[in-house]
Structure 1
């Protein structure tokens, strides 16, 4: 079964920041924001957020002359939500993002990825290098096992609570434990009830949370995991690719450490690094305008040398 947004969301979305657009790809209706004109920037969110996370970055980027395309992944935001967890895989998310790029005929793209949006966007990038202008990497992973997860306790928690079959599905879907936990620890600055209401809005029922439950099971905590090599290929390719890369990691992230961002930036041939201060895991919420301003400088520099 596939749930459309109108089947499970009763609250008004009229107060969202931008007009929504829809495209059908391989039987899935994806929602996306498309603002501005000029060189395209494709911004990919992660878990358990949606395009709303990028709303502070869009206006300054549009004002600087860029086109911002911000999709909701399948199972998130206002996109269709298959209710069977088996419908979700890292490869499936990449296929749908690839389909979106092709439908919109996006060329010479800058890809921005955070959390799971990192591997998803970067997998598209490494397989379509001729269509990539630059990369912006925010609080994410490009290798496995992700040795920079904050502590061994977090690894154990992920394994026991969120990669444990039906038990994990019950915690995430019925009790909404994962979203409640991440929204508690993921934001450093935001406590506005209306803002948090918008983040919670897309997943009001257990049936709507299949995509949320599926993502933790995709995380390779060892090289034996089916996704291990799929993610490792990202780092292997980036290490040999001279595409301009800006890496920004935040200093208050409870998941990834700043030193991993520094490592990524030093590993790529054409990378630069910036610490985003006083921002949590979802740094777009805490410091969206600052990130956009840094991106404008980075992209103008990249255009001068291309």
Structure 2
């Protein structure tokens, strides 16, 4: 059993614009005693599913401006909270977290829910993990479309100084100010929205995952996750044939236009990106126009087919 904390439900009682159905996944082999949360909105029998994966140090709350747009299409939307984040249980020891720990849980969630015709929607760690999922043939068979924002494939390349500074800060800051971090790159964030990002963390004991995540990014070829990320790079370059949509918050100092253009060259057939002028790293905070532009692009690709 992994020692973990569970955020009291009352912490989520007054979230801003985030009234979507919440479900819980339990009993996953290897995750005994841990409960993972996910938003499950829209018809269970919908033709398509949007799988929205958040990053660090956010949670599914980040997708509150995109989920309603996806629901307008009649689709189902699944937005999980990674273990250690959001409404999911939070292991208290930093050593409990690893690349495979999160990746395997996501695959278990997809399998348990029997998701089909998946539009994968990713940003930050949602992409570091989510973009590797198609290496699993079962997931690849479920995948239909891709929406990718301010992320990367962490194949073991050395990071820049901006990322190293962020990693050092996160590890050294026991009580990581999650809401302040997200608000720092999102000037239009309201006080209520900032409180929403802080809601999962009553105190520093709940923040082990948020602290350690930057240190888990595969920045050396032999780090866990690097090898499967290289396999994923090959998959997206040579085996992906579905429609893709890329949006870039151009004010992101680490995963902005240069990093995303490099990723675009990896993703076979990825068209020119949507540039969100002034958009920060947490570009889902500009999410409604991104979601609408993505849907329009997907419709246009059908017309050209």
TM-score tier after normalising by the smaller chain length: 0.7 to 0.9
The alpha-carbon distance between structure 1 residues 64 and 58, as it changes in their structure 2 partners (threshold 3 A), is same
8 Å contact 2:179–2:197 — kept in the other structure?
A: no
Match in the other structure for 2:205: 207
Structure 1 length-normalised TM? 0.86
C-alpha deviations, 1:247-300, integer Å up to 9, x for none? 211111122121222232233222122212221100111x11111101211333
Name the stretch that deviates more: 34-43 or 216-225: 216-225
Question: Where in structure 2 are there 5+ consecutive unaligned residues?
Answer: none
Q: CA deviation at 1:181?
A: 6.1
Structure 2 CA distance for partners of 1:83 and 1:141, relative to 1, 3 Å: same
Any idea what the Cα deviations from partners look like across 1:149-200, whole Å, max 9, x if unmatched?
Answer: 6xx43244245444xxxxx2xx33x3325x366324332432x111100101
CA contact (8 A) 1:188 1:278 kept: no
Match of 2:93 in 1: 84
Partner of 2:116: 107
Report 1:45-84 matches (<5 A). 45-84=54-93
**Correspondence for 2:216 among 215, 218, 221:** 218
Pairing partner for 1:117 from 126, 142, 161 = 126
Say which of 140, 162, 166 aligns to 2:151. Answer: 140
Contact map agreement 2:175 2:203 (CA 8 A) in 1: no
Give 3-state SS (helix, strand or coil) of 1:271's partner: coil
The alignment's C-alpha RMSD in Å is: 2.2
Aligned to 1:165: none
Question: Aligned with 1:199: secondary structure?
Answer: helix
For residues 108-131 of structure 1, give each alpha carbon's deviation from its aligned partner in whole angstroms, at most 9, with x where no partner exists.
Answer: 211111000002111222322111
Deviations 1:50-76 (A, max 9, x none): 011000111111112221111111000
Distance 1:250 1:12 in 2: 28
Q: Give the drift of 1:218.
A: 0.7
Aligned length, in residue pairs: 290
Does 2:277 match 1:277? yes
How has the CA–CA distance of structure 1 residues 25 and 137 changed in structure 2, closer, same or farther, with 3 Å as cutoff? farther
User: Out of 154, 162, 174, which is 1:154 matched to?
Assistant: 162
For residues 220 and 230 of structure 2, the distance between their equivalents in structure 1, rounded to whole angstroms, comes to 11
For residues 1-306 of structure 1, what are the structure 2 equivalents within 5 Å?
1-6=3-8, 10-15=10-15, 16-26=18-28, 27=32, 28-37=34-43, 38=46, 39-127=48-136, 128-145=139-156, 152-158=160-166, 160-162=168-170, 168=171, 171-172=172-173, 174-176=174-176, 179=178, 182-190=181-189, 192-241=190-239, 242-272=241-271, 273-285=273-285, 287-303=286-302
> What is the rounded CA distance, in whole Å, between the counterparts of 1:68 and 1:303 in structure 2?
21
